[in-house]
Amino acid sequence: MLGPNGAGKTTIMNCISGVIKKSGGSVTLDEQDVFEMGEKYREKLSFQFQYQPFYPSYTAHEFLRFSALLKGMPEPLIEDEIRRVLRLVNLSENLDDKIKSFSGGMKQRLAIAQTILNSPEIL
C-alpha cells in the first residue's frame, strides 16, 4: 500500500487487522468484504507494524515460537517454519540469542521473519 503521509495507510491496516473499529467504508479481498468474512481473512493476511513489539528477554526462537502459536500454526510444523524464516532473513546463527542483544537491523529482520511465518497469501 502506497500513499503520502497522512493518507490513512496505517489507519486502514489497523482496521483490517482489528486493532481499531472502522467507522465506514469497505475493504474487499477476493471480491468479499473482509469485515463480513470475520476471522477467515486474517489467516491469509500478515503485515509488519512500523514499531514492532518485541520481548527483549526472549530469544529469537522463543519469540517466533510464541508468534507461531498466536497465529495458530500446527505444533508439528513450528520448528521447521522457524528455521525456514530465520534462514530467509539471515538470522539462523542467532536462533538462541536474546533479542535485547540484536542491532536495529537484526530486529527489523526478525520482524520480517515473524511477518512471513506460516507463508501468508498477502503481505
19-76 tens-digit pLDDT: 788 888 888 877 888 777 766 666 666 766 666 778 889 999 999 999 999 888 999 9
**Tens-place pLDDT, residues 72-97:** 899 999 999 999 999 999 999 999 99
**What's the pLDDT score for residue 114?**
93
CB atoms within 10 A of CB 80: 9
Residues 107, 114: Cα–Cα separation, whole Å: 10
Between 31 and 18, whose confidence is greater? Answer: 31
The predicted pLDDT at position 40 comes to 67
Cα-based distances in Å from 20 to 14, 115, 117, 119: 6, 20, 23, 25
Q: Which residues contact 119 (CB under 8 A, 6 or more apart)?
A: none
